[in-house]
Amino acid sequence: MRRITVFGATGSIGESTFDLLMRQGGREAAQVVALTGGRQVARLAEQARALGAEVAVTAYDDCLPALREALAGTGIEAAAGAQALIEAADRPADWIMSGIVGAAGLVPGFRALRHGTTLALANKESLVTAGPLLLAEARAHSARILPVDSEHSAVFQALVGEDMAAVERIIITASGGAFRDWPIEKLAKATVAEASTHPNWAMGQRITIDSASMFNKALEVIETYEYFGVDASKIEVLVHPESLVHALVGFADGALMAHLGAPDMRHAIGYALNWPERSHLPVARLDLAQIGRLTFRAPDLDRFPALRLAREVMATGGLAGAAFNAAKECALDGFIASRIGFLDMAAVVEETLAQLSSCGGLGKAPGSLDDVLHMDAEARRVARQIIDTRT
Ligand SMILES: NC(=O)C1=CN([C@@H]2O[C@H](COP(=O)(O)OP(=O)(O)OC[C@H]3O[C@@H](n4cnc5c(N)ncnc54)[C@H](OP(=O)(O)O)[C@@H]3O)[C@@H](O)[C@H]2O)C=CC1
Ligand SMILES: CC(=O)[C@@H](O)[C@H](O)COP(=O)(O)O
Ligand SMILES: [Mn+2]
């Protein structure tokens, strides 16, 4: 039986993965090795029981007693903390979902690659912060990374059997998020509750707010750049409010291959789970006659400066992606805590990059994961200082 581990099992990606595993036969069809979560230990224990996992891991030490209690008498091991996440990554598995949110997902996923696993990568931050290192690690250990972010899964699918040399452009779509049509004056006063509602997708709060600020799309442009290895000038963002076309690939002969599907992450997760085959998935089928029309427009870089910053990050290269992501995570924390306003998030990230750039070293290629983690910590320190001066 295939051995499977899910990092971030209690989150939005994790729950969709859990749903598919259960539908595909649960413990009868797969040997579930490890399930990991954070504070939702009751749910983590429930999932571990349902799938007969070998071990359940919470990221937080103070959650361990509750997890142990919830798993008492089941024979399922309970563990906690950063080291336990690494040990979970070291348990041999054929397929691993990387579904932790934020840079916290980098180390466990990176570690799993050394065992030659197939890593289904939802955690876009891994590629943004350490793309070249991650891909090199996969190559070194004959491991495989399959993209799970909906746009990147769509591009991956459009590229099957194609020659990368014939790719003229990659277009990833953006819903435009909660504030697609808001004027800039209104954006300045946007609340956390308003930013936490996505027009089309049901996702975790952090990516939902990133979608509203377009930081999600900014991360995804860099993710495209790192994963598919195309020149930054070939990557375009297209606002598509319906979120039915997920990406398009343009070829040398002028053909545009589009990927369409319902806004349901079980498609991209299921594709990675069943790859290289396609199996039935419980996602809605599109009735295009009923839908009638699809709309597209160019993104507005004045209201959503994150997209402009992503271009600067790609031009700088090296450790700029790690700094960008870390500053963005701190700015997002600041917004969620109502310490800074919605538009301040981009200002904090831009200022952090400017300060780090003036110190030099932002464009230096990381020699190891330690270099990435060091830049991550440094960018958080600078971003927090900037947030402090604004509050
Ligand atoms: N949701 C979606 O549809 C999509 C998500 N993605 C990407 O997938 C990743 C997960 O997103 P999403 O599922 O929305 O996020 P959620 O916030 O819904 O879930 C995050 C998961 O990670 C756990 N977690 C949180 N913080 C930590 C930490 N510091 N260390 C270890 N585990 C932690 C959470 O545990 P707990 O909840 O128990 O505290 C939960 O299991 C992100 O990188 C996101 O960008 C990409 C495309 C679509
Ligand atoms: C489902 C998925 O892949 C998300 O990353 C999605 O792209 C978010 O929607 P936005 O297009 O609004 O950022
Ligand atoms: Mn996406």
Domain stop point among 123, 147, 171: 147
Residues 186 and 245 in one domain: yes
C-alpha pair distances (Å), 97 with each of 23, 35, 40, 385: 17, 10, 18, 34
Q: In ligand 2, which atom is closest to the CA atom of 210?
A: 13
Q: Please give the average pLDDT of every successive group of 10 residues along the chain, which has 391 residues.
A: 98 99 98 98 98 98 98 98 98 98 98 98 98 98 98 98 98 97 96 97 98 98 98 98 98 98 98 97 98 98 97 98 98 98 98 95 96 98 97 83
The response to whether 11 counts as a known ligand-binding position is yes
Residue 299 lies in a domain: no
Residue 51 lies in a domain: yes
Residues 220 and 255 in one domain: yes
34-66 pLDDT, tens digit each: 999 999 999 999 999 999 999 999 999 999 999
In this prediction, residue 361 carries a pLDDT of 86
Residues 168 and 77 in one domain: no
The response to whether 357 counts as a known ligand-binding position is no
What's the CA-to-centroid distance between 338 and ligand 1, angstroms? 21
Q: Where would I find the H helices in the chain?
A: 12-23, 41-51, 64-70, 82-90, 106-113, 124-140, 150-158, 184-187, 192-195, 205-213, 215-228, 266-274, 288-291, 306-316, 320-336, 344-359, 369-390
- Report how far residue 231's alpha carbon sits from residue 323's, in angstroms, rounded to the nearest whole number: 21
| CB of 265 shorter than 6 A to ligand 2 | yes
Residue 269 lies in a domain: no
In this prediction, residue 391 carries a pLDDT of 83
| CB of 109 shorter than 6 A to ligand 1 | no
Q: For ligand 2, pick from 101, 175, 242 the residue to mutate: most ligand atoms within 8 Å of CB.
A: 175
Residues 133 and 178 in one domain: no
| CB of 100 shorter than 6 A to ligand 1 | yes
Q: For ligand 1, pick from 101, 210, 215 the residue to mutate: most ligand atoms within 8 Å of CB.
A: 101
In this prediction, residue 360 carries a pLDDT of 87
Residues 68 and 132 in one domain: yes
| CB of 217 shorter than 6 A to ligand 2 | yes
221-241 pLDDT, tens digit each: 999 999 999 999 999 999 999
| CB of 175 shorter than 6 A to ligand 2 | yes
Residue 135 lies in a domain: yes
| CB of 149 shorter than 6 A to ligand 1 | yes
Closest to 251 (Cα-Cα) out of 357, 149, 164: 164
CATH code at 28?
A: 3.40.50.720
Residues 133 and 163 in one domain: no
The label of the residue with tokens 């975790």 reads: 204
In this prediction, residue 255 carries a pLDDT of 98
Q: For ligand 2, pick from 150, 215, 248 the residue to mutate: most ligand atoms within 8 Å of CB.
A: 150
- Report how far residue 7's alpha carbon sits from residue 235's, in angstroms, rounded to the nearest whole number: 29
Total number of domains constituting the chain: 3
Angle CA 369–373–374, to nearest 5 = 115
30 CB neighbour count, 10 Å cutoff: 20
Residue 307 lies in a domain: no
Residue closest by Cα to atom 1 of ligand 2:
150
Residues 14 and 80 in one domain: yes
What's the CA-to-centroid distance between 220 and ligand 3, angstroms? 7
Residue 171 lies in a domain: yes
Domain stop point among 147, 173, 193: 147
In this prediction, residue 9 carries a pLDDT of 99
Residue 308 lies in a domain: no
Residues 77 and 170 in one domain: no
Residues 125 and 181 in one domain: no
Tell me the ligand closest to 237's alpha carbon: 2
Domain stop point among 91, 126, 147: 147
Q: Do strands 235-239 and 245-251 pair parallel, antiparallel, or not at all (unpaired)?
A: unpaired
| CB of 150 shorter than 6 A to ligand 2 | yes
Q: Which domain holds residue 64?
A: 2-147
Residues 20 and 60 in one domain: yes
The response to whether 149 counts as a known ligand-binding position is yes
Cβ pair 209, 301 in contact under 8 A: no
Residues 336 and 244 in one domain: no
The response to whether 58 counts as a known ligand-binding position is no
b or e along 298-323 (b: 16 or more beta carbons within 10 Å of the residue's beta carbon)?
ebeeebbbbbebbbebbebebbbbbb
Residues 121 and 163 in one domain: no
Residue 366 lies in a domain: yes
